[in-house]
Structure 1
Amino acid sequence: MAALRRPAVVAPAEAPVRDGATRAFAPPSVAPAAAGPSGEQAWPGAAGHDGAAPGGAWPGGAGPDGAWPDGAWPDGAGPAGAWPDVDPQPAPAPPRRAGTLLALGLLAVAGAALAPGWTLVALLPLLLLARTVGSAARAVARRRERAGARRSDTLVAVASSPWHLLRALVTGLPSLLVAASVVVIVLGVGWWLVGTGTLEAGPLRAGDDGPAPDAVPVLLAVAAVAALVALWAGPYARDTRDGARRLLAGVAPGRGGAAAVVVVALLAAGVLVALAAGGTAVDWTPLPEPSLPTVGG
């Protein structure tokens, strides 16, 4: 049998002393602080007992012992002047310049239709320059993402240009080989189809011992389009695209520069197309004139 518990007895409050020397003061009237999150009572001045604030919030943003919640530091600074880890911003991509590139590509195709040798001589150095600029620009962008922009970025890029030139030459060989293979296949197949009379459309018609003279510029133009696509989208072609866009942004900046390049390129391409349509023979110089096989020979 459980023992019976006696009810607690509360002692009566002592009567106030009235000896003429003791004075009673009423407690100060303090408005209740606003309730914190989850309905808990906030401490005056946001600080709680022992300097702690409710809900993990600390006066002024600081936590106990000077710590800061969730790795946040006042004014972005961390302990001992350290800064919190922040993901670096990606480097801005170069402007696309699609219209300018298309106009220059059309000029290259028109040039290859009439003078494939000179077009190749002009295109290879430009291709190497674009790849060098693209490689150097990507190196600068990676360095700025790691350490931020510095005054020495331009000097470092210029000093490392021989390395980027060598890298552009080596990494450009795969795309050049792919483009050369595409030209051989497209031109060979087209030569056979037109020379045998299998394909006849407009100027594409067979001659005495192969395609007619008017068909050769068209075949060369088609092969040039395939080669440019292979160079632009082939293996390791990212440096080519970035470098070409950055070169155009530097040589012809803004809409005015882009419009000027487009107008000049289209006018030059129109002149070459008019010459080809007028029956101008293909000029292979400075390359030796190739000995193309005769169909059925």
Structure 2
Amino acid sequence: MPLNGNLADFPLGDIIQLLNNTKKTGSLELVAGGDFSGETGKINFSKGKIISAASNKGLFGKSAFLHFYEWHEGNFSFVEMSIEGEVNIEESTESLLVEGARVITEWAKISGVIKSLSLVVNLAPAPPEGVSEIKFSREEWKILRTVDGKKTIREIADELKLADFEVSKIIYGLIASGLVEKVKEVGAISGVELSVKIKPEFYLIEEAVYIDSQLLEKWKTQYELKTIGKIVLHLAGAKDVIINVKPKNNLKGLILIPEEISSELGLKEKDKIFVEPLK
């Protein structure tokens, strides 16, 4: 019997623990949501033991497994089946669960400095004072070679085929040691795609659109803003529109637009548009 649900309701660790305890053999399919929308992954089990993992991002084995712990939104589905193919994970499932829990704990600390995977970093102009000798691990050196003041953390992770967590953890340490500096946030990466919902009976007092209040609160925390009064709509034809925004409950995944405004912008019901806060 298939097992499926939402990662927001059933954390990955709990799902794996259940499959391990019940000695299941089959494939756990994952579809990410939120900041990782568009990514998919798979974890294969043999009698409850994890034997392989892979993602469409090009990650395999333990890197893929740890990357899945970064997903807090999305869907999962487990189907019992015989599993054939390469084994790319040798660690016990119990030790993997411990490492997964560590990812969650360490992310809480890292996110205090690296608030978004859209962060761009660059090499510090000079080593910290008093430092005469610097030694790097192989992974640190690999990441340092890609730091150029242009790439985001996510782009570095994609280029090196490493989990975002692995790259963020190393860059966090390099920032703390004064060898790397934060440059800027690339805002578009933190935007979201919303589906248009048109409200014909709106009485247009102020030219504004409405998005979910929880999304606005998330952006305020992410960018350390007191208020968000305007957002950017990225429309077809490379056209950007800055417009007033108001919060409204229960609009997850939607942008509510008065009919008069939607007509001016050439938008129809259920159109998809990319939206980000004006910072």
TM-score past 0.5 threshold = no
Decide which structure has the larger Cα Rg and report it.
1
Structure showing greater relative contact order (alpha-carbon pairs closer than 8 Å, 6 or more residues apart): 1
**Which structure: greater strand fraction?**
2
- Structure with the largest fraction of helix: 1
